[in-house]
Structure 1
């Protein structure tokens, strides 16, 4: 009939599932903030994710050169700081808007390679989206400047993550992520311990933290691996551009975060800029995902 088969649909369903699971997991994580704070929640996500990845890939069986170890260490440090900054932003700004601001990192990196007139349209859209979100005026719809600052820092970390991920492209992906997440845990977990103290070892919070790690990292990463095998890279990126909108809907459904019309417009501008950039730019860098 239409030529659609279960085999052809599965990768797209897997990617959509990865986006939804990530956003739901992050919404769930935000509910831990009153108990252990953003830093404690980040420690759970990164720490448990590192343990799962180490058990899965056992990277110690494949030693690296000193140069590769340094690159992987930087890659892991960026992962840790990216997660920490993103969760810190969620303390005071809605999930969908934090994701939208974070998306400007890889978007800006892609636009550095702009060579076509149409790219100025995407730059303008991205700038418009940011201007609609930045706390340039007071009022009920204004975002917390500190939250926006942390989201912006997460955007910078995401761009660096892509650059460093490219430099590890000759290494095994699973083992690299396992080592990188372990390095991130060495940075983030002590911060969470100092901040949350003994509460971090409460059985209830530990169980919820494990769920956060599974929903936010283990399941999305596994689903993305399935998706990448069956979806062209350009289509993959376009679909991923919808994540800020999915995050906003998850925030509305699970956290009661209602956005103003201008904030939805800002998300739409950033999504359009991201998707448009991918569709009109030849891929020059690999885009590993957090």
Structure 2
């Protein structure tokens, strides 16, 4: 599958799982959702990849850093989703990948697409009612962690050629989130109905998306990956509309279109740049020959 398709599949899984978790909030709360999601995902990934704890310290350190960022991101993001519409929470979370895309820019077209994506974010954030301040802070923190995870995840994907690094990172994230989940939900975490929904959420929004994204990070630069994830606010808003009946105003629909156009434009620009670089490399090799 092409790398952009992997990114899109990961976004669909993440946002679909986020919508599904709203069924779990009354039972176990946001921290309980995070604990169940990460714990079940860790079990699935460990069974699939069977990572070894014995390894070089640098790789283990990178996996621990990635897991820490995942744990904080999840706890902050699901607290935000419990207080904000899905589209608004995801839009604010996008600030992290957007910063990666903007800071890594080296060409004028990149700045154009980043500016268009920023315009879309602003339009998506427009609302006739005031947003919860705690939700805004949590979503912003989630965005910072997600931006950091893109950078650390890139290093992890380069050092570990399969899913063992991801399994270690998610397992560490699950251990970090466990005290918060137990404090908030206690024995309700073991309810059979809750576990059934949480299993679906873990597979849909953790196992598949993170596997897809780690593979995409092996093929893409963090800047391009960050720009491609600009589709996430649009997809989050659409899923919020379709599954949660969270309606958008006209400016927000304009933001959906702007963000989607920025993502497509960035992909096409990067593709043309790669072709030019490849042609230059071939020409240089021919001269050297």
Deviations 1:156-202 (CA, angstroms, capped at 9, x unpaired): 11111111123222223300000000110011122111111221122
Deviations 1:139-161 (CA, angstroms, capped at 9, x unpaired): 74332222122111111111111
Aligned: 1:202 with 2:191: yes
Aligned: 1:158 with 2:146: yes
Aligned: 1:20 with 2:8: no
Of 238, 241, 250, the residue aligned with 1:252 is 241
Of 233, 236, 243, the residue aligned with 2:232 is 243
Deviations 1:82-114 (CA, angstroms, capped at 9, x unpaired): 111111110111222322222221221121122
Paired residues of 2:72 and 2:142 also in contact (CA < 8 A): yes
Paired residues of 1:47 and 1:182 also in contact (CA < 8 A): yes
The SS at the match of 1:213 is helix
Report which of the two has the higher share of helix. 2
TM-score (norm 2): 0.79
Question: Structure 2 vs 1, CA of residues 246 and 34 (structure 1 numbering), >3 Å: closer, same or farther?
Answer: same
- Give distance in 2, aligned partners of 1:117 and 1:228: 24
Paired residues of 2:77 and 2:89 also in contact (CA < 8 A): yes
Q: Which residue of 1 aligns with 2:130?
A: 142
Paired residues of 2:124 and 2:253 also in contact (CA < 8 A): no
| Root-mean-square deviation (Å) | 3.2
- Give distance in 1, aligned partners of 2:220 and 2:160: 19
Of 33, 42, 48, the residue aligned with 1:56 is 48
Q: Structure 1: where are the runs of 5+ without partners? A: 1-7, 284-290
The SS at the match of 1:173 is coil
Deviations 1:51-109 (CA, angstroms, capped at 9, x unpaired): 1101111102x721122222211111011111111111101112223222222212211
More displaced stretch, 207-216 vs 162-171: 162-171
Shift of 1:131: 3.9
Paired residues of 1:237 and 1:275 also in contact (CA < 8 A): no
Q: Which residue of 2 aligns with 1:97?
A: 88
The SS at the match of 2:40 is helix
Paired residues of 1:104 and 1:126 also in contact (CA < 8 A): no
- Give distance in 2, aligned partners of 1:71 and 1:192: 24
Q: Structure 2: where are the runs of 5+ without partners? A: 275-289
Paired residues of 1:80 and 1:188 also in contact (CA < 8 A): yes
- Give distance in 1, aligned partners of 2:165 and 2:32: 25
Q: Which residue of 2 aligns with 1:287?
A: none
Paired residues of 1:50 and 1:185 also in contact (CA < 8 A): yes
- Give distance in 2, aligned partners of 1:228 and 1:127: 23
Paired residues of 2:110 and 2:266 also in contact (CA < 8 A): yes
Paired residues of 2:72 and 2:145 also in contact (CA < 8 A): yes
- Give distance in 2, aligned partners of 1:85 and 1:236: 22
Of 113, 117, 121, the residue aligned with 1:122 is 113
The SS at the match of 1:59 is coil
Q: Which residue of 2 aligns with 1:286?
A: none
Q: How many residues align?
A: 268
Aligned: 1:84 with 2:72: no
- Give distance in 2, aligned partners of 1:68 and 1:17: 27
TM-score (norm 1): 0.79
Shift of 1:271: 3.8
Question: Structure 2 vs 1, CA of residues 12 and 129 (structure 1 numbering), >3 Å: closer, same or farther?
Answer: closer
